[in-house]
Amino acid sequence: MTHDATVIAQMRQLIQLIAKHNHAYYVMDQPTIEDSEYDQLFHQLKALEQKYPEAIQADSPINKVGGQPLSKFDSITHVVPMLSLGNVFNKEDLFAFAKRIEERLPNQKIEYDVELKFDGLAISLWYENGVLVRGVTRGDGEMGEDITQNVKTIRNLPKVLSTTTGSVPTLLEVRGEVLMPKAGFEKLNSENEAKGEKTFANPRNAAAGSLRQLDPNIAASRPLAFYAYGIAQCQPHHGQTTMSASLDWLTQFGFAIGEKHFICDSIQDVQAIYEQMIIDRPRLLVEIDGMVIKVNDLKQQQTLGFLSREPRWATAYKFPAVAALTTVDNIDWQVGRTGTITPVARLNPVAVGGVTVSNVTLHNIGEIHRLDVRVGDTVSVYRSGDVIPKVEKVWPEFRPVDAVEVQLPKCCPVCESPIVMPEGEALARCSGGLYCAAQRIEAIRHFVSRKAMDIEGLGDRWAESLLHLNLLNDVADIYHLHEHREKLLTIEKMGEKSVQNLMDSIENSKKTSFSNFIFALGIRGVGETTARMLANTFQTLDALRTADLEALKKTPDVGDITAEWIIDFFQAPHNLEVLDRLLAAGIHWDAPTAPTRQPLNGESWVVTGTLASMGRDDATQLLQALGARVSGSVSSKTKRVVAGEKAGSKLDRAEKLGIPVLNEEQFIALMKEHGQIQD
Ligand code: IVH
């Protein structure tokens, strides 16, 4: 074996291992190795690629993500149109479908291929000489959108075809469905909920939203999967004679096909499979909305052909939508970990498609108004597969005279702090961020994080145990933990040494900076930069907590909504109590020196590309120290751009807009001039 061949073999082995673990992690949601071991595989491959760039494999995951965001998708005409399927909804329709086929194929044995009907988005994939060159949405069937960049981030989809058992076609166009497997969907939604971000109503919306992202990095972060269900073109011909064999043939290249498919000798068998799948459906890894019934023999398919825009040889057999009527007994308000207030309808328990439903989320007060649902109302509850049930419709004709209209409560049901909802926001939130028991764990994790109070170990290692022991009712209790040494020692793995380290770390955190302290409070919308601007502008906590809306809105980096969140935060009495206790515990920072002149005050700067002498974070901090705002995108408001090596679209845009650009040398000179960097 030549040296090159060894390197390539190693690379291929690593790529295959990484792909296998990606599948286990993202699609099955069952990681089979530790994160650190996975990172090692990744680094090993990266190191090999750095050493032997000429051997980099086209399907390497290393630089897979990181494509540039697009401004829009290009339109592409499908060479073979992407047609749709007819539908049948019951046994009679299904048998009529079979009868039409039998009449066109007299005296022939007919076999049916029965597949899952994936509830996602149809796409077409082009492979030229085994390399994925294009991914296109179905669009209107004639013309779709070029989503190649996003498609390339789908982990279970082969980017390069290789096989040990045959040759690779010169042209292969595979059709199939992109979807988000249930496990990934649930994980994404619960992560988004914890972050206070938007959740998706069902896996289909989540998949569609992810594929439509112009920024491939976002698509890459979503657990999408591709399942093949057909071959539109193959040169040379694959040689298979049946639908099911052609799908099996695809699997040799690494394509996933449905986790179940069946071959039936009679239409009665098809019906039996369909009925069984209604029962098995909740246990599948992916969401389906029916079965697809196809004539298995490819020659017979050809004979049958198409009727207008649908094949005569296939039909979708949809599952019945499951809905049931019940009444709303009450509406409760739940507080999420980031303070979002969500209405939940308590229902008179009702069976919907074999599952008893007694609670259903109504998402937000806007949804309550849209449905006009009242306590006492009769509603239809709808469930598709095992997706979260939802209220589909209210029946005003059954409304009792004493039905009660629903109002957003004024106070948090958990901590009684005021509930606030700035104009233009869909979600209401509890303002007792530092105090509210529902938000405790997030508030603590944030408070102790590195860029806030920087108390090492507390957030990721001990926070949950301390909460269980009732030692942390709010963040101020952190500074009283030393009074509970004995209790701390009862925590598993917490020995004398860990207790001492934790105590030291807590003690050291008492000396901080005003801006870190503001950031630590976890006020909505107040990130690190905003905290720094608030610290610079108001200089003292007293000035900040008594600032009025107008003064806050004038602060650089503070938008109208954030200004309102700040006011709400400092108006919640419990937050003020916690603040006082924090200060009483000895948290302090250096008094402001006379306000320094800020030469770049209020200017908007952008840093792009790679700087040789420092990271982009360092450059950002230097600029911020001089009063500049550092933004992630170039606009007409940008004052200057600092461009390092390999600066891409941001530099182009700056040049287009005529915005002055500084190279690294000029940037460093400027920083020296302002005393930020010593000679
Ligand atoms: S075969 C000529 N097989 O259903 C059309 N389609 O209504 C051949 N779909 O947009 C389509 N699962 O995205 C086929 N196993 C499956 C499918 C499937 C889902 C979707 C497909 C299409 C729609 C047709």
Domains in the chain and their CATH numbers?
5-62 (1.10.287.610), 83-318 (3.30.470.30), 323-398 (2.40.50.140), 410-595 (1.10.150.20), 604-673 (3.40.50.10190)
Using alpha carbons, select from 371, 74, 71, 388 the residue that is nearest to residue 204: 388
Please tell me the predicted confidence (pLDDT) of residue 388.
73
3-state secondary structure of 113: strand
227 among the known binding-site residues? no
Each residue's pLDDT tens digit, 391-413: 988 999 899 999 999 999 999 99
E strand residue ranges, 154-216:
171-179
Selected residue with higher pLDDT from 164 and 88: 88
Backbone φ and ψ of 161, nearest 5°: -90, 125
For ligand 1, is residue 49 a contact (CB within 6 Å)? no
Whole-Å CA distances, 526 to 10, 438, 476, 556, 562: 47, 20, 20, 12, 7
User: For the chain, what percent of residues have pLDDT higher than 70?
Assistant: 94
E strand residue ranges, 201-339:
225-235, 261-264, 288-295, 306-307, 310-311, 314-318, 322-335
Torsion of CA 391, 392, 395, 401, to 10 degrees: 20
Element holding 643 (H helix, E strand): strand 640-643
29: pLDDT strictly greater than 70:
no
Ligand 1 centre to CA of 609 (Å) is 44
Pairing of strands 314-318, 288-295: antiparallel
69: pLDDT strictly greater than 60:
no
Structure token digits, residue 20:
């296998």
36 among the known binding-site residues? yes
96: pLDDT strictly greater than 70:
yes
Contact 6, 49 (CB under 8 A): no
Ligand 1 centre to CA of 228 (Å) is 10
Q: How far apart are CA 277 and CA 264, in angstroms?
A: 14
Ligand 1 centre to CA of 296 (Å) is 15
Contacts of 117 (CB under 8 A, 6+ apart): 288, 289, 290, 291, 292, 316, 317, 318
What angle (nearest 5°) sits at the alpha carbon of residue 25, between those of residues 19 and 27?
A: 85
Each residue's pLDDT tens digit, 514-541: 999 999 999 988 988 889 889 988 999 9
Q: How far apart are CA 121 and CA 138, in angstroms?
A: 8
Average pLDDT over residues 74-82: 92
* 163 secondary structure, DSSP code: -
Weakest-pLDDT range from 27-31, 226-230, 306-310, 629-633: 27-31
Residues in the chain, how many? 679
Using alpha carbons, select from 592, 664, 631 the residue that is nearest to residue 672: 664
The H-assigned helical ranges of 469-600 are 485-488, 496-509, 514-520, 528-538, 541-545, 549-554, 560-571, 573-584
Give the pLDDT band of residue 677 (cuts 50, 70, 90): confident
Q: How far apart are CA 416 and CA 428, in angstroms?
A: 14
pTM (whole model) above 0.85: no
Atom of ligand 1 nearest to the CA of 87: 7
Weakest-pLDDT range from 201-205, 278-282, 458-462, 594-598: 594-598
Q: Residue with structure tokens 């980031």?
A: 338
Backbone φ and ψ of 277, nearest 5°: -70, -25
Atom of ligand 1 nearest to the CA of 176: 13
User: For the chain, what percent of residues have pLDDT higher than 90?
Assistant: 51
294 among the known binding-site residues? yes
Atom 23, ligand 1: residue with shortest CA distance: 84
Please tell me the predicted confidence (pLDDT) of residue 65.
44
Residue 446 zone, left/alpha/beta (φ > 0; ψ -120 to 50; rest): alpha
Pairing of strands 75-77, 288-295: unpaired
Ligand 1 centre to CA of 27 (Å) is 21
AA identity, residue 52: Y
587: pLDDT strictly greater than 90:
yes
Contacts of 500 (CB under 8 A, 6+ apart): none
Q: Which of 72, 99, 117, 393 is catalytic?
A: 117
For ligand 1, is residue 305 a contact (CB within 6 Å)? no
Atom of ligand 1 nearest to the CA of 119: 19
Pairing of strands 314-318, 86-88: parallel
Please tell me the predicted confidence (pLDDT) of residue 66.
38
Q: How far apart are CA 542 and CA 545, in angstroms?
A: 5
Each residue's pLDDT tens digit, 370-381: 999 999 999 999
Please tell me the predicted confidence (pLDDT) of residue 433.
84
Give the pLDDT band of residue 1 (cuts 50, 70, 90): very low
Please tell me the predicted confidence (pLDDT) of residue 348.
93
117 is catalytic: yes
Residue 328 CB coordination number (10 Å):
24
412 among the known binding-site residues? yes
Q: Residue with structure tokens 């990744």?
A: 42
Give the pLDDT band of residue 616 (cuts 50, 70, 90): confident
Atom of ligand 1 nearest to the CA of 117: 12
Average pLDDT over residues 401-426: 91
